Every structure is written in C-alpha cells, then in structure tokens.
Amino acid sequence: MKILVAVKRVIDYNVQVRVKEDKTGVVTENVKMSTNPPDDNAIEEAVKIKEAGKAKEVVAITVGEEKAQETLRKALAVGADKGIHVKINNTIEPLAVSKILKKIVEKEKPDLVFMGKQAIDDDCNQTGQMLAALLNWPQATFASKIVVKDKSLEVTREVDEGLETLEVNIPAIVTCDLRLNEPRYASLPNIMKAKKKPLEQITAEELGVDTKQRIQQIKVEEPPKRKGGIKVASVAELVQKLKNEAKVI
C-alpha cells in the first residue's frame, strides 16, 4: 500500500499573527513558519502504518513557494520516503490545491491520501472533501483513530455529538484530527538523512492546473478587542443589564 500525505507551510501556531498596515493580509515576512499542526498528525499516522508493515511507501507533497520545501524536509525526516513540491508563488485556494492533488494522485497512484483536517491559517476545511469529490473516492474527515483492514479502513471521527465510527473502502481520503496521535520529533541523524531522500519539484502549469483565484479578498481586519467583564450582585441585576444594556433579551 502507498500513502500520499499533503502538508502545508503556515505561520507557526505560537506566533501572534499581525495584520498588515494596508489591510491586504497578514504579516509573513521574518515570521516563524512551520508545518500545519494537523498535517503533522497525518504524516505521523502514515509513518506508523508503514512501520506496522501495512504500507510500503509514504510520499509527502506540498504546494507553495520555494521555502515550502522546509515542510517536506521535515516530513522526510520523520519517516516519509520521498517528497513532491508543486511550486507556486501566489496565494492558492483550496479548489486549486485539490485539482493539483488530483493530478498527483493520478501520477503516483496511492491507495490512501492523508492530510490535516484543516489549515490553521485560512481554516477552510475544504481540500480533502473537494479532492474526494474530484476523484470520486470515499472520504473520512476529522479522524481520531484509524484501523487498517484488508481493503478498507475503520475510522473513528469526531462529530458534534461525540464519536462516530465508519468503514470506508480503499482507496480513500482521510483528514486527520489532532487527537489521532502524538507526532514525533525529527532527530538530528534523520534530519541529515532526509537531505539525501528524493525531492521532486514541479509547477502547477506543468500539471495543467488553473490556479487563478476565484475569491476576492476585500480587506483583512483584526477582531475588535473584547471589553472586560463585570460582576453583578443578583439575578435581577443580570437580567436588567442583558435587557437594557446588552439588548440580547
């Protein structure tokens, strides 16, 4: 079995995101970047399946600028066998990413495609679902547990009511939740070994994918600062403030 894992380079989750002065986006210059956290879980799960002898190869793919190769090198350092970098310099939307991944799937012919449930920069939660639709493959989203069977996967996924367990036939698309596993750290020897692993670079144009934006971003603003809370002496005072000041009842 072969597993393709999509990873994305995003602003590190520990960094305080700042909006640009001209309101056209967020500041990324001289800002620490890292792998999208749920994508780390996706790579970890793929490597664990390979280590269990249920997969022969793990291929990591990323779509982005030249520096996105850092994300691939990290994936290679924790156990992926090879990387594919689809180079693109402009902002790319989930639909275009899904079309690129479809082309890569047709080329690499994996049995499974893993990715994070959503990216922490745009929070779209769309790429996996769109890819499943384009390929007409089964999908299991928000996976918190994966059991590999002969020709299917048993996936426990997180839903509003709690946990749902379903079975999907292989080939399939799986988007991974943070609770799926604990991603490992890349050791220094493995980081050095990753430099020798194959990394293929290709452009979206070579794949024949149209990446023009279909959504116009008008303006980016910080959310309004929250006001401090107050204490009330009684339920009657609470109701009065909700009714006359907050005007929510």
Residue with tokens 């994508």: 39
Categorize the per-residue pLDDT at 2 as very low, low, confident or very high, splitting at 50, 70 and 90: very high
| pLDDT number for residue 41 | 95
CA 116, 118, 120, 122 torsion: positive or negative? positive
The predicted model gives 83-104 an average pLDDT of: 92
Kindly report the average pLDDT of the chain as a whole number.
91
Gap between the Cα atoms of 20 and 7, Å rounded:
26
Neighbour tally for 197: CB within 10 Å: 16
Q: Which CATH number fits domain 2-223: 3.10.20.30, 3.30.930.10, 3.40.50.620, 1.20.5.510?
A: 3.40.50.620
What value, to the nearest 5°, has the Cα angle with vertex 13 and ends 126 and 37? 50
Sort strands 112-116 and 172-176 into parallel, antiparallel or unpaired. Answer: parallel
What value, to the nearest 5°, has the Cα angle with vertex 43 and ends 14 and 148? 135
What are the structural domain ranges in the chain? 2-223
CA 29 remoteness from chain centre: 21
Peptide bond into 171 cis (omega under 30): yes
| pLDDT number for residue 6 | 95
**Has residue 248 got a pLDDT over 90?**
no
The predicted model gives 229-233 an average pLDDT of: 88
| pLDDT number for residue 16 | 87
Cβ contacts of residue 190 below 8 Å, gap of 6+? 77, 78, 79
The predicted model gives 91-97 an average pLDDT of: 90
| pLDDT number for residue 186 | 86
| pLDDT number for residue 162 | 87
**Has residue 177 got a pLDDT over 90?**
yes
Identify the three-state secondary structure at position 102: helix
pLDDT digits (tens, 9 = 90+) for 24-43: 888 888 889 899 999 999 99
**Has residue 7 got a pLDDT over 90?**
yes
Neighbour tally for 241: CB within 10 Å: 15
